[in-house]
């Protein structure tokens, strides 16, 4: 639902607490337990999961833990569409997103630059944003680690690799002369496979991410060797990050739903990763 130009939370109270105090406590508890990684360079991109916090929040927090104190003012979030068909890349046409922790505005100037830079690849719409949880669950984490930031929320079909090159070119054109940005791709990994099969599938995409090889991800997805519900967002972010000078990619954490729920007969895989360039 959208009110006064702001997209209201659709999964508060289910994927994460709707009470602001409880939400802050849960996120901060993740951060307290999260290992700290030393990234020697400028962070360009990240991969984070988008399941309920009880399942994947800790894995996501390990990536977001890297952002404390960073001078990031603009965050591009690339999400798959789980419920609606998207003809290209849908950039939310409202003012911003609301969470229990307050509102986050969209950077209108950068949005206009993105749309003007790429042959109608990106269009302004509510398509894919109305009930999509993937972007929404990232914002409370960002609200805890950054201050005075804006977002550029983008939604695309999960495996639309045909527009990944175009989207990465657009992101390069707009952000090549800027320093205060981050590009997030949000994705879960294999869905509802046995524990052993899920880890076999997930190992392949984990390895491709570590190798910083988006073309291998495409090939392995197309060949049915691995899966990720946000594979095109991942590929788009990795390709854009390479063009923007990133040369390092590291998987920070991997988990699956059996860690919390115990059922190994049908699990979902989660991963967080960081992409950076030396400075």
Q: Are 237 and 212 in contact (CB under 8 A)?
A: no
Q: Are 192 and 266 in contact (CB under 8 A)?
A: yes
Q: How many domains does one find in the chain? A: 1
Q: Does any domain span residue 236?
A: yes
Q: Looking at per-residue confidence, does 4 or 110 come out higher?
A: 110
The pLDDT value given to residue 265: 96
Give Cα 186 to chain centroid, integer Å. 3
Q: Does any domain span residue 43?
A: yes
CATH of the domain at 183: 3.40.830.10
Tens of pLDDT, residue by residue over 131-165, are 899 999 999 999 999 999 999 999 999 888 999 99
Tens of pLDDT, residue by residue over 106-139, are 999 999 999 999 778 999 999 999 989 999 999 9
Q: Could you tell me the pTM of the whole model?
A: 0.97
- Give the mean pLDDT of 243-256: 98
Q: Which domain holds residue 123?
A: 18-277
The pLDDT value given to residue 200: 98
Q: Does any domain span residue 125?
A: yes
The pLDDT value given to residue 230: 96
DSSP secondary structure, the chain, as one string: -EETTEEPPSSBTTTB-SSHHHHHHHHHHHHHHS------SEEEEEEE--S-HHHHHHHHHHHHGGGTT----EEEEEEE-SSS--SSEEEE-SSEEEETTEEEEB-HHHHHHHHHTTTTSEEEESTTTSS-HHHHTTHHHHHHH-SS-EEEEEEE-TT-GGGHHHHHHHHHHHHTT-SSEEEEEE----EEE-HHHHHHHHHHHHHHHHTT-HHHHHHHHHTTS---TTHHHHHHHHHHHHHTT--EEEEEEEEETHHHH---SSEEEEEEEEEEE--
The pLDDT value given to residue 140: 98
Q: Does any domain span residue 92?
A: yes
Q: Does any domain span residue 127?
A: yes
Tens of pLDDT, residue by residue over 24-60, are 999 999 999 999 999 999 999 999 999 999 999 999 9
Q: Does any domain span residue 97?
A: yes
Positive/negative CA dihedral, 262, 264, 265, 271: positive
Closest of 5, 6, 4 to residue 99, by C-alpha: 6
Closest of 224, 243, 263, 230 to residue 157, by C-alpha: 230
Look at residue 95 and tell me whether its pLDDT is greater than 80: yes
Q: Does any domain span residue 8?
A: no
d(CA 240, CA 110): 16
Phi, psi of 244 (to 5 degrees): -90, 5
The pLDDT value given to residue 87: 85
Tens of pLDDT, residue by residue over 197-247, are 999 999 999 999 999 999 999 999 999 999 999 999 999 999 999 999 999
Query: 231-243 and 195-210 helices cross at what angle (nearest 10)?
Result: 20
């Amino acid at each position: 639902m959208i009110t006064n130009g702001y997209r209201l939370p659709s999964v508060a109270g289910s994927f994460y607490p709707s009470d602001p105090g409880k939400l802050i406590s849960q996120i901060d508890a993740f951060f307290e337990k999260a290992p700290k990684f030393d990234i020697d360079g400028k962070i360009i991109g990240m991969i984070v999961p988008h399941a309920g916090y009880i399942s994947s929040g800790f894995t996501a927090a390990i990536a977001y833990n890297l952002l404390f104190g960073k001078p990031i003012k603009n965050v591009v979030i690339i999400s798959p569409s789980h419920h609606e068909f998207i003809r290209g890349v849908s950039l939310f046409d409202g003012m911003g997103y609301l969470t229990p922790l307050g509102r986050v505005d969209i950077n209108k100037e950068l949005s206009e630059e993105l749309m003007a830079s790429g042959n109608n690849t990106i269009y302004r719409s509510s398509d894919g944003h109305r009930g999509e949880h993937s972007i929404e669950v990232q914002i409370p984490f960002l609200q805890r680690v950054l201050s005075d930031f804006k977002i550029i929320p983008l939604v695309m079909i999960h495996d639309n690799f045909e527009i990944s090159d175009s989207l990465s070119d657009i992101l390069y054109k707009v952000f090549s002369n800027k320093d205060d940005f981050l590009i997030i791709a949000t994705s879960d990994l294999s869905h509802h496979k046995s524990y052993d099969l899920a880890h076999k599938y997930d190992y392949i995409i984990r390895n491709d991410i570590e190798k910083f090889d988006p073309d291998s991800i495409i090939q392995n997805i197309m060949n049915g060797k691995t899966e990720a519900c946000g594979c095109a967002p991942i590929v788009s972010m990795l390709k854009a990050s390479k063009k923007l000078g990133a040369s390092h990619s590291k998987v920070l954490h991997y988990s699956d739903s059996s860690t919390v729920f115990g059922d190994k007969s049908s699990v979902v895989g989660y991963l967080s990763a960081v992409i950076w360039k030396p400075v």
